[in-house]
Amino acid sequence: MGLGKEAVMAETWSGEFYCVKCKEKREAEGEVKVNDKGTRMAKAVCPVCSTNLNRILGKA
Ligand SMILES: [Zn+2]
């Protein structure tokens, strides 16, 4: 399962995240992380309540 490039620059993603604390969608910009299953996740912080936001972006 070699996906190649390991040392990539931090990628950012901006868009809608669902904040579980506000129970609303929030526009935010966050960093893209890839987990060990190869699923891309965006991580950001809610601009209103500072809760960590996660959004699954899908397979790389
Ligand atoms: Zn929030």
In eight-state DSSP terms, residue 9 is P
User: Taking the CA atoms of the chain, what radius of gyration do you get in angstroms?
Assistant: 13
- For the stretch 9-47, pLDDT in tens is 779 999 999 999 999 999 999 999 999 999 999 999 999
Q: Is residue 4 a contact partner of residue 42, using CB atoms and an 8 Å limit? A: no
Look up the pTM and report it.
Answer: 0.74
Environment of ion ligand 1 (residues, CB < 5 A): 19, 21-22, 46, 48-49, 51
Confidence of residue 3 (pLDDT cuts 50, 70, 90): low
Task: Using DSSP, state whether 48 is helix, strand or coil.
Answer: coil
Separation of 52 CA from ligand 1 center, angstroms? 8
Cα-to-centroid distance, 51 and ligand 1 (Å): 6
